Amino acid sequence: MMNQRIFVTGTKGGTGVSSVVANLARSLADSNEITLVIELDSQNQLARHFAIPWQSKIGWQNAYDLEALPYCFYQTQSNINILPYGESLGEQAKLCAQTIIDSSSKLDLPKNSWILFDAGQSQQLNALDLNSNDIILEIANCDGICHSLLYQKFFMDKQKYKAQHYVLINRYNAHSEVESDLFTLWRQQLDCLSPVFINTDEAIKVAVTHGNQAVALYPANSCRADFERLSAWLAHLLTQRNISKDRT
């Protein structure tokens, strides 16, 4: 079974891409899965979730070549390896996002490792060359803006990716009538809607202030169960893909 690459992107800004990446990574790591996180978004938000020092500017933007890339990684106490975006400090970056993606398959990782990419907004993903084994998780909130953007993308533009593409609802509030109505509508109309969703949870906001992930800081909280279900569903997709490959 090969390594699995997951690209997490947002329908728009502020949907919670970095928090999903951080908590999914921790959920996988807590299940003894080898997990690597690579940040493609220039906003450098992952550092806030993993207690990387504020003053640290090191990431793949600082690497002069691929040989220097291993020195730009951070390792957390939970054994998650993180490659931040970094800051070029006024110099022209020597590497680009596509080079980082291509090189990820050449990293010295154990088989069956998970590679999670924080890919920012979905517009940035359009310029990248992915393959049919990759999975895109597009993070959306149940609000009018996301609804309009998803409608434009899937029903007007009929946009398609080479990778497997799923829409993941984040911060879902079942007590909101508007969100409940949109959720029902998306389940009826969006073929690519993930069967798993992440409920709204203040614990996720609080965890960031501690430089931690909510699934670790609040193990008895409902958000941990949400991300465990997400991890299990992704593992199921990977298993189904490998079964299909074996048959062919």
- Structure confidence at residue 157 (pLDDT): 83
At residue 36, what are phi and psi to the nearest 5 degrees?
-125, 135
CA atoms within 13 A on the CB side of 116: 30
pLDDT (tens place) for every residue of the chain, 248 residues total: 468 999 999 999 999 999 999 999 999 999 999 999 999 998 889 999 998 887 788 899 988 889 988 899 999 989 999 999 998 665 666 889 999 999 988 887 888 899 999 999 887 788 889 998 999 999 999 999 999 999 999 988 888 888 899 999 999 999 999 999 999 999 999 999 999 999 999 999 999 998 999 999 998 888 999 999 999 999 999 888 777 666 65
End-to-end CA distance of the chain: 15
The neighbour count for residue 162, using CB atoms within 10 Å, is 12
Range(s) of the domain holding residue 229: 4-247
Integer Cα distance of 79 and 76 in angstroms: 5
**How many domains, the chain?**
1
pTM: 0.94
- Of 62, 114, 112, 109, give the one whose Cα is nearest residue 84: 62
Q: What is the CATH number of the domain that holds 183?
A: 3.40.50.300
